[in-house]
Chains A and B, each alone.
Chain A
Amino acid sequence: MKQQRIDAGPAGPVPWYDPRVRSLFFQAIAIALVFWGGWVLVDNTLSNMESRGISTGFGFLNKTAGFGIIMNLVPYDATMSYGRTFWVGLTNTLLVSAMGVVTATILGFIIGVARLSSNWLVARMALVYIEVIRNIPLLLQIFFWYFAVLRNLPSPRQSLDVGGILFLNNRGLYLPGPMPQEGFGIVWGGILLAIAAVVGIRIRARKRQLATGQIFPAFRVGLAILVFVPVVSFLVAGRPLEWDLPVLRGFNFGGGITIIPELAALWIALSLYTASFIAEIVRSGILSVSKGQTEASRALGLPNGLTLRLVVIPQAMRVIIPPLTSQYLNLVKNSSLATAIGYPDLVAVFMGTTLNQTGQAVEVVAITMAVYLTISLLISLFMNIYNRAVAIKER
């Protein structure tokens, strides 16, 4: 009130003595400076590169790449464009990251819980694992899995042979590839039907438990449906699936699915390394749940497993999620160490070969950085949504 009276006073403050006008003025200057700095940087870079005769622009993405890549999830051959090499690299990065996140999480939770085990041996083994793995540089671990393990595998002609179906040698693990024949659509239909049924049963079982207190064995019934329905539809459709078996031809095995050793080494190293950090995060989360919660749960008669699953873990998650997000981000970024062992990830393919063949360092590095930034922000976004879902809701 007092303020207002002064503002409305007959003299009135001169605009440049008004704190609001002043702060707006300085903020506008700050923003203008930032934009000007950015513009000068971009403009200078472009004009200087032009004056030095360095090609600029993104036209190179449409030109023929002309080099081979050993592993591609999207169709690729040497006659395709540099733009396509970007997608090949990106999907390979996403593949190893996703595989790494899943296994690191599972392994990390198991080891984190084991670390708190009352069994002395289990707890100590978990401790040793964590302290050894997390204190050795990741790059060395990748080299270890790649070179130390690779050297001990046999050559293609002396492959380890499992029933003529699976083959393991120093070129990779060869699996039979499924080849869906005509009529496989029926099987897909069966799978979708089974998933829908399981979801429906879970919802109904939950409702019934809330309403009547009776427990319906939704898990066991769901599992039975998930196996039974697709198998029946597979038989009804007349077994519309054939297998492409790996066969030794000339130098290597051909046909089937190949898991190359580069992928395996990177996946193992990333999973084991990140799991050691996740284990410590899980331990800290569980320890953060006060002992009274466990005691209360026991007093209600819940067994050990249920106490952990229904009382301790949900509360521990609130502490676990934020640092877990950082570990996921680290894992994705660490996957760029792939270039050291020749796994064709985004950095090796796009920022490696493509950059060198086209020479357009500024564009390629900018695209690559933008991609990692985008992946990381997306992971953060989803983890934040999940975090909000499990966070304490004050009512």
Chain B
Amino acid sequence: MKRVGVFLCWCGSNIAGVVDMDRLQAEVERMPGVVHVEQNKYTCSDPGQESIRRAIREHRLQRVVVAACSPRMHERTFRAMMRTAGLNPYLLEMANLREHCSWVHRDIDEATAKAVDLVRRAVFKVRLARPLQSGKVPITRRALVLGGGIAGIQAALDLADFGIPVVLVESSPSLGGRMAQLDKTFPTLDCSSCILTPKMVEVATHPSIRLLTYSEVESVEGYVGNFKVLVRRKARSVDEQRCTGCGECLSKCPAKVPSEFDLGLGTRGAIYVPFPQAVPNVPVIDRQSCLYFTRGRCRICQRACPAGAIDYQQEDRLESYEVGAIVVATGYDQFDPAAYGEYAYRASPNVITGLEFERLVSSTGPTGGRILTPGGGREPQRVVFIKCVGSRDEQRGASYCSKTCCMYVAKQAILLKEKLPRCEVYVFYMDVRAAGKDYEEFYLRAREMGVQYVRGRVARVFPHGDRLRIRAEDTLIGRRLELEADLVVLASAMVPRPDARQVARKLGIAANQHGFFSEAHPKLRPVETHTAGIFLAGAAQGPKDIPDSVAQAGAAASKAAALLSRQEMETEPVVAEVNEHWCSGCLRCARVCPYNAISEREIRVRTAAGVRTKTVATVNPGLCQGCGACAVACRDGAMNLAGFADQQVLAEVDALCL
């Protein structure tokens, strides 16, 4: 029988305060195979780990049980300790006496009885543990960054500065993302373009970054360190090499369509660059609106182009890239406030969203920075902001707080007051959330400038002559309010991009119920995903402002860089393995595998009727994440999860039930 040592951790008073450790020890000493039991105040500490090492030496332990906290917390720590003690790290089993016991129970007798059960099942399981060996896979030293907004730009620059080649894929014709649409940024009122465009140029000129704009990821295959990414480079109809960016074509194009960049408040031609500071400064032809593509004649841009760069015959190209890590920074979208019919967003041009207001106030916007009502082209006398449109409203929007609106509304109110000092500004709010460095001060500055903050929800907005009438309630003094305004700005929620779930599917990462990508751990692994080698940055993971996005992008870049700084990496040995003798080759395991880690292969077997070939399942240990779905789906019992073998699980059941 294997010699088992059990180490009972007090976790200070976390465990020892609820579990009677001496009674537990007495019970554990009687368990089969247990030759040594000891208690420690903090087993994870250096002296705690040293005492395990000493016990392994002195008592010739072959298996170790650490009864402490959740394995998610310290299994790595103790596995590393096992290695330094000369034992295979997978001959360790943890019993979770904290999260599974002391933290959720009060009664000492009951908690102690449960602790005995938890340790017993760990002892029974570890006795059947086999040493597991990790394999090694080479790592491709190149990163893919998905998304060319501020988060993607920052991640790409940071990675490139580590000396890592980067492929940056952006679906629109230019870098910049949402930040490029903003006018000024809170709480310092820096001009957004002035701090963003130099970074865009840096990306374009960085020798380590390959910039692919107007491109989309078609498919992602492979696994950490060895992804194969297929990128569709959409036909631009303009030769990027020849185009000098002179802009002759732009002014000549006879087509006029609403500009996406200006959110429909301005127009663009069929051949266009989204905004003047676009990177790359190469136009793209929108084939849906181009006269040549729709009616077969025009070609004015081709005649106007002095460089001969217009290429109507260009077609989509597929390019394949091998990368070792992926940073996902696909950004966010703005909630469509049409769901709130009472705010008359569709009914009146003078009801706009926060992002539309940014275009209205921006000097690169359709009005050249003059704040004019989109309906009448007049300077507004009074502007009303409505916060939490689609946020914190489970009925019609989302349950979460969009985090940025309080601050951008304060900013927009300040900009209004600066540009139109006589304009009255009302802000209807539920709460003002100004947690962040210098944020509260910034909000107070808005109030000091005379912005009227009214606590209460707006009941209705309706057009009234050429103005808007607003019906609301001031809940602080319990009074109904009715006022007129020229412009209503809805602080619309941040929502995931419409294709977020498809992107998650392509990448094999998870998204939460709203569609924001899920991090591996909300506190301890905030930029990792559950899929090794894929990292998150920016608002694709959840509502975020610029400082948070930039910080997260840097974190994601350094995590990716840490991975790519190695030549090869160890694979996790807790993966599925096939008993080929038992396998029927039905490949049901492959269909339930969320990671496409299982494929088929032919083997030769000797049967009574002679040698024949048979199909069996085979697991790619690089792709397998050890979830165990295949082991459950396999009727033959041919699929087993290393470290969680059927015998081990049955031994645990016996330990608890017999």
- Is chain B a partner of chain A in the same complex? no
